[in-house]
Structure 1
């Protein structure tokens, strides 16, 4: 006990003399905690996780047996622990390898300087899908919910609740498929519905060259703050509507820049930036 008290006194004395050690110890604990968390997460769902739980329970029982004074049981448990580690490695070699591979991939992702956010993944999926559909003149209407809910229009469609991907968006709008007619509504990071009906704009200023998809996109922008992307079935032209603004004939590169800037900052006035970006306005 005196030795422990002496060690404890020396420990606190060292902290007083060198306050920086407090930060070092805290950092040390946080790193160990993070590594244990990542290891547990990497092994979750594997057979080796069940083995680890069993080993922890076995060790606890061993300490209980030692406290009670069961000498023989404690000795046998010590032998099992000693040789059980080797047996466990041999038996669960595939699971251990899989877990370490997961842990290694997690570390690689953590060390990467560029990590795609949810917004970047959404932009990439939208751009890739539009880049495929535009030259093939596959008509598309994609509405992205912003601060105002689109539940009124979501209720008119067919519920999907699927992760956003360019492959899924392309397949939805392939002609003559059950879901190609109507709008896809994206809510958060999910495709909420397909085949939804949007309100048509009654503005007489809209050129007759624009069909129902464009009128629906403009109509939604007049009734909400949703961002809507349109691909023309007749020409393959790409258009965007937002808060009553209609921007027509975007290139793939301009669409990517447009969407990236839109999702990157909510502090900048979107409408004002639209005019600076393209230098023109169509209604």
Structure 2
């Protein structure tokens, strides 16, 4: 049997294995993972009822599976969208929209880091989202349009408590602060620490649905965190934050933003 396996068969199996691996990575630790497990249980139960000649049970399960396939397209809509966006972000199909000249990039990053560090010292909560390949213009519409240059003063003033725009997210596109006071989707990850508040969950939520990078300042502790691809790194210093932002703006020249999933301490 194995003697009949050729080079094309090996390539074919490798492609299928790679696709399944990528699909697993996309749905890992999401509600889709639990739904897949439930679907596998239904498949096994359908086969067992067929072998056991439980005709009524088998008929019900088969019809349930038929309707279930249609329901899956609806239930898995966020995951399917995420998978298509992942394909669309391929370097073969797109060119980064966040590229800046090195001098401008360094200046903008320094302005952002200075603002975040100052907000951290004063324990002022903040949430800054950096748009990358996936457009998030629809989320900008939930806030107030600014379209202003990135500056330390402007970022700090936006998040000052009891001001009109402090309670929401700032969205940055390239070298512009596009909007403030934006409402973001919350993370649906059931494994998140209960110490994380709404600001952290919103930062994670947008990174689960796009390739954006989120920078979060805790209002309770002043701790600086960053999120990308649904992963969170906490208790960052200025040097690490600067590296993460540089990677966000120049992804083709850098390694992945995070090589770890959690850096967690008790707040």
- Residue 221 of structure 2 is aligned to residue 235 of structure 1: yes
- Residue 240 of structure 2 is aligned to residue 259 of structure 1: no
Match of 1:181 in 2: 167
Residue 282 of structure 1 and its aligned partner are, at CA, apart by: 5.3
What are the equivalent positions in structure 2 for 1:1-283 lying under 5 Å apart? 117-271=103-257, 274-275=258-259, 281=262
Contact preservation (8 Å) 1:245, 1:282: no
If asked which structure has higher relative contact order (CA below 8 Å, sep 6+), I would say 2
Contact preservation (8 Å) 2:213, 2:248: no
Match of 2:78 in 1: none
The alignment's TM-score, normalised by the length of structure 1, stands at 0.55
Aligned length in residues:
164
Q: Distance in 1 between matches of 2:253 and 2:143?
A: 32
Contact preservation (8 Å) 2:235, 2:263: no
Which has the larger Rg? 1
Cα RMSD of the aligned pairs, angstroms, is 1.8
Partner of 2:243, secondary structure, is: helix
Contact preservation (8 Å) 1:240, 1:246: yes
Q: Distance in 1 between matches of 2:256 and 2:157?
A: 30
Unaligned runs of 5+ in 2: 1-100
Deviations 1:215-246 (A, max 9, x none): 00000000000011000000000000111111
Deviations 1:25-57 (A, max 9, x none): xxxxxxxxxxxxxxxxxxxxxxxxxxxxxxxxx
Partner of 1:117, secondary structure, is: helix
Flag the structure with higher helix content. Answer: 1
Residue 280 of structure 1 and its aligned partner are, at CA, apart by: 5.6
Partner of 1:250, secondary structure, is: coil
Match of 1:19 in 2: none
The alignment's TM-score, normalised by the length of structure 2, stands at 0.58
